[in-house]
Amino acid sequence: MVRLQPDPFLNELTNMFERTMEKGSVWVTLKHSSDKSKSQRNKMKTAGEKIEYKCLIRATDGKKNISTMVGPKDHQRFQASYAILLKARMTALKKRERKDRRKAAAGSEKKKQEGTKKQSAATKASS
């Protein structure tokens, strides 16, 4: 896995989205992490040192893996750039078909009434 700086990571992520535009997927994961091992973190805790946590961001298209670490200082800028990138590249998503709430509520009430009628008819027939 290649660890990049945040800006080259965004550029490579854009390239991944372009390569998978017609067919394929891109998976992006975010993880709260410090760049230290567990033993180093424990030593820092006992010494009273402050542990700086970062956000580990990984992306893969199944063939190529990339990652970056974003600290608290750069997080707002990175998040804004990442949001713009996602909005621009999610054009292939389909809009969800929404039902009219009144029609859906009326339809569910009819189904409940029909279900109770069937149950009462079944109990009468078995008696």
pTM: 0.65
* Radius of gyration of the CA atoms of the chain, in A: 26
Strand order in the sheet with 2-3: 2-3, 65-70, 54-60, 27-33
Q: What angle do CA 30, 36, 38 make, to 5 degrees?
A: 100
Q: Is residue 68 part of a domain?
A: yes
What pLDDT score was predicted for residue 85? Answer: 93
Mean pLDDT, rounded, of the chain? 82
105: confidence class by pLDDT, cuts 50, 70, 90 = low
The C-alpha atoms of residue 9 and residue 13 are separated, in whole angstroms, by 6
Q: Which CATH number covers residue 21?
A: 3.30.720.10
Question: Which residues form the domain of 72?
Answer: 1-88
Q: Is residue 124 part of a domain?
A: no
What pLDDT score was predicted for residue 13? Answer: 94
The C-alpha atoms of residue 62 and residue 19 are separated, in whole angstroms, by 12
pLDDT in tens, 12-31: 999 999 998 888 889 999 99
Over range 108-127, report the average pLDDT. 61
